[in-house]
């Protein structure tokens, strides 16, 4: 599904006037032309299929792939993973779905991206450390990207993703899927529309495990497996060289500074984007972060330039990745365990249903996050969780982490993307990349 240089596409639709604000600075992308993909027959013509590949699929990536496979206009053709066991597992899932043995396996990302000119889009579901570099490599190779979250390891890395998406004209969607789920969208729209009155407080769920400080040591060395089984150097990628330990590869990288974005990033990658959407702040970040003397950041108060507070909250939710909007005239709340949006009055629920219907009609967006991505691959419109949305919500994550690590209140300038009164914090705006894994 190649796009010629110099062509132009339709304007992005608004998220009721604001949810797409974060992407307003991005250039309009080229219109689509039919892919020269090998299709599988059926109702969708082969030339209209999106050819899909994947990089680094563990359990979450496998979930995403199974979510994507039923879409009839998508053909999954290849998996690239540094672990043989995961390559084989994903190939087995794809081959069973299509009833053939066509899914190809790769262990080298560069070879995969260089060789597979036929691939239009990639699903990236590596650990946190690889999300941004892999997305940048893929976009430069002409692929659209659906990247799992947390989607960058530093403020400047997030900015780099935005810049490369603009430079290459690629579609980028980060996996903060609750921006496309109706109960969450309803709460966001109620807050945006003024139905709650002036929203003075947002509560954003952070993960109730690990802590904000993370481990700075590393696990004891174990014998390296054969490179064909696990390419440890490639698994580490841009991170500092560390001795091999199987616990890392099996998911134990969480909670380690080298590889993770802490309990704040784990769910804040979702909930900060959700909260910022509801107060029309997807194109910015809080300007003040108030240190709390605990291990997790629970109770941290952040303040936006408009005066609205967003409070990090660890407990008190019925399900994961919750958010609450508190206004002068009402409240709206949602988390994964809620059957529907919880509101302070029945009338707000009825208003919310109307807002969702209007939103769907006005934007044309499916309330299905991967469908929104695939639709945008074809239309070249910006998806709901585009690179700008990712960057500004992840800047909030990184600033909150720095507030904890430096054990002090911080002032952040979201325009200049610096900490104007704390030079020590500015030293943490980026992370060093290990050669040759640079972007």
Domain ranges within the chain, ordered by starting residue = 21-179+374-379, 181-211+261-363+388-426
**Residue 405: strand, helix, or coil:** helix
CATH number of 181-211+261-363+388-426: 3.30.360.10
- Min mean pLDDT across 12-21, 110-119, 243-252, 401-410 is at 12-21
- Per-residue model confidence (pLDDT) at position 46: 79
State the pLDDT confidence band at 43, using cuts at 50, 70 and 90. Answer: low
- Decide if pLDDT at 7 tops 90: no
- Decide if pLDDT at 354 tops 90: yes
Query: Is residue 12 packed enough to be buried (19+ CB in 10 Å), middle (13-18) or exposed (0-12)?
Result: buried
Q: Where are the alpha helices (DSSP H) in 262-335?
A: 262-278
Question: Cβ contacts of residue 194 below 8 Å, gap of 6+?
Answer: none
User: Strand 309-313's sheet: what is its strand order?
Assistant: 342-343, 331-334, 323-327, 199-205, 309-313, 301-303, 288-290, 410-411
Q: Is the dihedral of CA 121, 126, 127, 133 positive or negative?
A: negative
Domains 21-179+374-379 and 181-211+261-363+388-426 share a fold: no
375-392 mean pLDDT: 98
C-alpha 114: how far from its chain's center?
Answer: 24
387-392 mean pLDDT: 98
DSSP letter assigned to residue 212: S
| pLDDT > 90 fraction of the chain, expressed in percent and rounded | 89
- Per-residue model confidence (pLDDT) at position 47: 77
Other beta carbons within 10 angstroms of residue 436's beta carbon come to 9
First to last CA, the chain: 25
- The CATH homologous superfamily for domain 21-179+374-379 is NAD(P)-binding Rossmann-like Domain (3.40.50.720)
- Residues 184, 338 contacting (CB under 8 angstroms): no
Distance CA 236, CA 435 (A): 11
pLDDT in tens, 236-292: 999 999 999 999 999 999 999 999 999 999 999 999 999 999 999 999 999 999 999
DSSP letter assigned to residue 153: S
Distance CA 181, CA 183 (A): 6
- Per-residue model confidence (pLDDT) at position 306: 97
428-435 mean pLDDT: 96
Q: Which of 34, 12, 33 is nearest to 24 (CA)?
A: 12
- Min mean pLDDT across 40-54, 62-76, 242-256, 338-352 is at 40-54
pLDDT in tens, 292-302: 999 999 999 99
- Min mean pLDDT across 24-38, 195-209, 262-276, 340-354 is at 24-38
């Amino acid at each position: 599904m190649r796009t010629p240089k110099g062509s132009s596409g339709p304007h992005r639709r608004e998220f009721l006037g604001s949810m797409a604000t974060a992407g307003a600075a991005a250039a309009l992308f080229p219109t689509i032309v039919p892919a020269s993909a090998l299709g599988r027959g059926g109702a969708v013509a082969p030339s209209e299929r999106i050819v899909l590949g994947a990089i680094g699929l563990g359990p979450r990536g496998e979930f995403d792939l199974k979510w994507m496979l039923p879409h009839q206009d998508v053909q999954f053709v290849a998996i690239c993973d540094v672990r043989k066991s995961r390559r084989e597992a994903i190939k087995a899932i794809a081959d069973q779905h299509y009833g053939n043995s066509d899914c190809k396996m790769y262990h080298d990302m560069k070879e995969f991206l260089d060789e597979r000119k036929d691939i239009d889009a990639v699903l990236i579901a590596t650990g946190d450390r690889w999300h941004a570099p892999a997305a940048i490599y893929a976009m430069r190779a002409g692929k659209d990207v659906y990247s799992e979250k947390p989607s960058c390891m530093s403020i400047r890395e997030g900015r780099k993703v935005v810049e490369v998406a603009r430079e290459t004209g690629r579609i980028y969607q980060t996996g903060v899927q609750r921006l496309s789920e109706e109960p969450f969208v309803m709460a966001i729209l109620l807050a945006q529309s003024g139905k709650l009155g002036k929203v003075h407080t947002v509560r954003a769920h952070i993960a109730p495990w690990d802590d904000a400080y993370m481990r700075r040591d590393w696990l004891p060395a174990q014998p390296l497996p054969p490179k064909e089984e696990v390419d440890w150097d490639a698994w580490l990628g841009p991170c500092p060289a560390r001795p091999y330990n199987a616990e890392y590869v099996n998911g134990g990288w969480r909670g380690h500074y080298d590889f993770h974005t802490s309990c704040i990033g784990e769910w804040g990658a979702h909930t900060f984007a959700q909260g910022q959407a509801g107060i029309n702040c997807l194109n910015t970040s809080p300007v003040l972060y108030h240190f709390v003397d605990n291990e997790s950041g629970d109770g941290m108060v952040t303040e936006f330039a408009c005066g609205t507070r967003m409070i990090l909250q660890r407990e008190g939710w019925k399900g994961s990745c919750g958010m609450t909007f508190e206004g002068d005239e009402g409240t709206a709340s949602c988390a994964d365990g809620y059957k529907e949006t919880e509101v302070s009055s029945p009338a707000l629920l009825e208003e919310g249903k109307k807002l969702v219907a209007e939103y769907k009609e006005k934007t044309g967006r499916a309330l299905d996050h991967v469908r929104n991505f695939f639709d945008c691959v074809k239309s070249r419109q910006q998806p709901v969780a585009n690179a700008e949305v990712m960057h500004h919500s992840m800047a909030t994550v990184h600033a909150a982490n720095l507030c904890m690590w430096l054990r002090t209140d911080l002032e952040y300038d979201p325009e200049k993307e610096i900490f104007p009164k704390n030079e020590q914090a500015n030293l943490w705006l980026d992370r060093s990349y290990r050669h040759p894994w640079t972007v």
